[in-house]
Structure 1
Amino acid sequence: MRFYPSSFIVKNLQESMFRKYSPYIKGNVLDVGCGTRPHRRYLANAGEYVGMDENKSVAPDVLGSAQEIPFPDAYFDCVLCTEVLEHLPEPEKAVNEIKRVMKKGGILYLTVPQEWGLHYEPNDYLRFTRYGIKYLLEKNGFRVEAVERIGGIFSLVGDRLVDVKTHIVTRILKPFFGLRSAENISRVLSFPASLMFYFLGKIGDGIDKRDAICWAVLAVK
């Protein structure tokens, strides 16, 4: 069984954190590993937005790798890099490439997982503590302004339980409705549980602040 960190719980926690820091994202913005561009709608203060991904299927603005960004030095005012570094065997290369294409004083908004299960296999290499990601960025010339937790133990357990339920229901329904319809039905059936665990997480995640689904970092070049 493979778990994908894409449930209602995680998405809402991530979006809430990004909205908090989105006012700092201004000027020309590069979204490294943009995927379906979930952050773009919150960038009211941004100028040019460039979504870059190495996956052709998401139709990025630019096809490219985080470890070899196809832009000149000091080109962007801000860079977004969310849930990307864990998929790179040598994340330091990507950190240096991001720094290279940023202007001096530019802003980096980055998120990395600490407690997620395996996902997007086999390209899933690393997990980070708050100290590990801070060290990696500072070692390579960034000034870390903030490191904040996204989700805690209650949200994490809830997310896993909902994923298991969704997976089981999908397997049961697949012979009758086909895979895509079965997945859609199972997501609808799992939504009440997602909502319950989301609000339980709001209360229970504060019990132990060392546990995190992932970490959000704001850093300056």
Structure 2
Amino acid sequence: MKIKEKFIEEHFFRPKWYSIFFNPYFIFRYNLYKNITNFSKEIKLGSKILDVGCGIKPYKNLFFDREYLGIDIQGGGHPDKDKIIDKYFDGLNIPYEDNIFDVVICTEVLEHSLDPEKLIIEMNRVLKNEGTLYLTMPFVWNEHEIPYDFRRFTSFEHKRILQKNNFFIDSIESINGVFTTSSQLVCAYIFESTKIGGTFLKFILSIFVFVPIQLFSIILDKLTRNKWITLGYVVIAKKKV
């Protein structure tokens, strides 16, 4: 992997506190990574895990000493050459037998599915009884991977569609609060609207614009603990026996 690509992957998918200086999406990505890191510590060694829509398998290293398999579609919003997969699939029908996985992970994928309920049914099918589904999905976010971005779910829709399809809910958690949601959207807009100046200009923007905005909003969220609106949800559910 090229140095630039490795740098981007590290600070985008697996950000540390200092990634705020390089990542205009720091708030969302840091909170997501912290959440899935905590989740990984609860998974028993030797567990069999399936990552649905795995892409480059950015979280595989969190699940060491477990069997970690990934599936993804051909094409879509990311080039195939960048994907690290075990099997391609059609986006709906998971190419594994019933009841063989202890954990299914599906992060930032369901909004791109042509039939999310069908995919949820399939994830339930390949899970063992009382197996765990770890699901994340954006709520307030711009259209991305265009034109393969189809929907957002409220917390109530997550609960409804999972309970309808043989899951019971362990937890539904907002990934952040109202102030960090607002600041993250501002930073994302400025970053994606900046078409001139290249990497250097974006680094200057990061230091003098993105860092102060994001830091201030993090402080406000901690002071108010207001989750009136959020960038996304993390859902942990179990397959019913």
For the criterion TM > 0.5, the same-fold answer is: yes
- Which residue among 214, 220, 224 is the counterpart of 1:204? 220
Q: Which residue of 1 aligns with 2:171?
A: 146
Residue 172 of structure 1, aligned match among 188, 196, 215: 196
CA deviations over 1:47-91 (Å, ceiling 9, x no partner): 110121114231312212441111011111100001111112321
- Maintained 8 Å contact 1:112/1:215: yes
1:126 to 1:6, Cα distance in 2 relative to 1, 3 A: farther
Task: State the SS of the aligned residue for 2:114.
Answer: coil
Distance 2:91 2:100 in 1: 15
What is the correspondence of 1:60-99 to structure 2 with a 5 Å cutoff? 60-99=85-124
Cα–Cα, structure 1 residues 21 and 139, in superposed 2: closer, same or farther, change >3 Å? same
Give the residue type in structure 2 aligned to 1:200: F
| Counterpart for residue 178 of structure 1 | none
1:207 Cα deviation (Å)? 5.0
- Which residue, 63, 86, 93 being the options, matches 1:43? 63
2:204 maps to amino acid: L
Please say if 1:29 is aligned against 2:54.
no
Kindly provide the amino acid, as one letter, of the partner of residue 34 in structure 1.
C
Count of aligned positions: 206
- 1:15 has 2:33 as partner: yes
CA distance in 1, matches of 2:38, 2:216: 21
* TM-score for the superposition, normalised by structure 2: 0.78
Distance 1:71 1:6, change over 3 A: farther
CA gap of 1:213–1:109, structure 2 versus 1, over 3 A, is same
The Cα of 1:186 is off from its aligned counterpart by: 4.5
Residue among 186, 189, 192 paired with 2:204: 189
- Of the three residues 131, 136, 143, the one matched with 2:161 is 136
Q: Which whole-Å deviations, capped at 9, do the CAs of 1:180-213 have from their partners, x for residues lacking one?
A: xx2x434423433433344333333345313110
User: In structure 1, the residue corresponding to 2:157 is in which secondary structure?
Assistant: helix
Q: Which ranges in structure 1 are unaligned for 5 or more consecutive residues?
A: 174-181
Q: Which amino acid aligns with 1:203?
A: I
Cα gap change, 1:172 to 1:6, in 2 (>3 Å): closer
Which residue in 2 is equivalent to 1:115?
140
Where does residue 216 of structure 1 map in the other structure? Answer: 234
Percent of aligned pairs with the same amino acid: 32
Q: Distance in 2 between matches of 1:153 and 1:197?
A: 13
1:42 Cα deviation (Å)? 1.5
CA 154–172 in structure 1, closer or farther in 2 if over 3 Å, else same: same
- For residues 25 and 197 of structure 1, the distance between their equivalents in structure 2, rounded to whole angstroms, comes to 36
Q: 150-159 or 119-128: which moved more?
A: 150-159
CA separation in 2, counterparts of 1:197 and 1:130?
Answer: 27
Gaps in structure 2 of 5+ consecutive residues:
1-22, 75-79
- Name the SS for the 2:41 alignment partner: helix
CA contact (8 A) 1:151 1:201 kept: no
Gap change, CA 1:187 and 1:34, over 3 Å in 2: farther
TM-score, normalised relative to structure 1: 0.85
CA RMSD in angstroms comes to 2.1
Question: Does the C-alpha gap of structure 1 residues 60 and 185 become closer, same or farther in structure 2, counting only changes over 3 Å?
Answer: farther
Given that 1:154 and 1:197 are in contact with CA atoms closer than 8 Å, whether structure 2 keeps it comes out as: no
